[in-house]
Amino acid sequence: MTRLTLEDVVDKYIVDGHANPNFMLLTAVADTLVGDVIGAVRRKECPFCGRVFRSRSRLKAHLHNRCCGTMYAGVVGYVISRYRRLKNRVRRGSRYRLELPGKPALRFRSMSELGEYVREHPEVLDEV
């Protein structure tokens, strides 16, 4: 079994629409930050140059090449860095605690529940 990187998880989510159940917080962060990019890809449209493709697989090849590929890798990297910043604020005890600076800690039963919170309160991404 090959080791899945965070880049793979984000890429599969954006291009294939596959939300890995072990990374629900990461997909919530992706939707919150780059929902416009994800929307374009789901319409088979390159979010960077606007070119429309016949199939998702052709767009996928396009997004892994040259200019648009560089921008796409930047988007994936951006999602991961913001996800890591958020995750660094999460403490694991009997529950997951999100500790934001200058605020009482928020508690969640699971990372999925924290992901739902992020979708409803996208501003938390600016607080970490």
Q: Which residues bind Zn ion (CB under 5 A)?
A: 46, 48-49, 68
**What is the smallest separation between the CB atom of 62 and Zn ion, expressed in angstroms?**
6
Per the structure block, which two tokens stand in for 58? 């052709």
Per the structure block, which two tokens stand in for 59? 């767009």
Nearer to Zn ion, 40 or 98 (CB): 40
Nearer to Zn ion, 13 or 48 (CB): 48
- The b-or-e profile of 62-100 (16+ CB within 10 A means b, else e) is bbeeeebeebbeebbebbbebbeebeebbeeeeebbbee
Nearer to Zn ion, 40 or 118 (CB): 40
**What is the smallest separation between the CB atom of 74 and Zn ion, expressed in angstroms?**
13
